[in-house]
Amino acid sequence: MLNYVKLLRPLQWLKNTFVFAPIFFSNNLLKPDYFWPTLIVFISFCFISSSIYCFNDLKDAEADRMHPKKCHRPIASGKVSAKGGYTMMAICLMGAFALLPLAHSINTPYLYIIISGYWLMNIAYCVKLKQIAILDVSIIAIGFVMRVLVGGLTVDIWVSHWLVMMTFLVTLFLALSKRNDDYRIFEQTGINPRVSITGYNKTFINEATAIV
């Protein structure tokens, strides 16, 4: 059971707290009519992101077995079978969509559209897009913006362009910083932490980070 929990990567669920940004900045965080619907959508996002993690680990299982750290992931290590991985992926996906009506939002159809788009975008990211420099970090930042938009739509709060810009730039900065660490590892050891890192260079990363 513990390995199935690890497969879901619960520590990564912290990223989904961005759905609370609209009610936080509108001073509605502690109001039950705003908090509880947003909490439901937060849980839905946790399920949808875990389904993506399952898919990612299934797709990258062979490569992960060759990695000194990733080889310990449940599927790569053989502690969770491929069938178990696909089952968890399906359960999380269904759970994510089943929860949305419980938020009782007037914008529920839009929530389905955005979360579906988020899932499809990240599946494409796992399959191919994460191998393309610049596009990989942009998708990560867009994913956080989508979280914020869903949080606003849930309780019908208008998300300002300032909040969208702040979210995109902050998360793009963090993604570029991560690529900077990856590039240093690649430069010092010759080990390629991710396929897209060969599309970056030190000058570009430093200048892009400074601009952001």
Contact present, 147 and 45 (Cβ < 8 Å): yes
Considering 54-68, 71-85, 110-124, the range whose residues carry the highest mean pLDDT is 110-124
User: What tokens were used for 175?
Assistant: 């993604």
User: What tokens were used for 10?
Assistant: 């619960």
Per DSSP (E only), the strands in 67-152 are none
Q: Which amino acid is present at 111?
A: L
How many other C-beta atoms can be found within 10 angstroms of the C-beta atom of residue 61? 20
Record the pTM. Answer: 0.93
pLDDT at 52 over 90: yes
Mean pLDDT of 112-129: 96
Of 42, 26, 16, 27, whose CA–CA distance to 163 is shortest? Answer: 26
Please give the Cα distance from 63 to 138 (Å, whole number).
24
pLDDT tens per residue across span 95-107: 999 999 999 999 9
Q: What percent of the chain has pLDDT over 70?
A: 100
User: What tokens were used for 61?
Assistant: 């299982």
Cα angle vertex 13, ends 197, 184, to 5°?
20
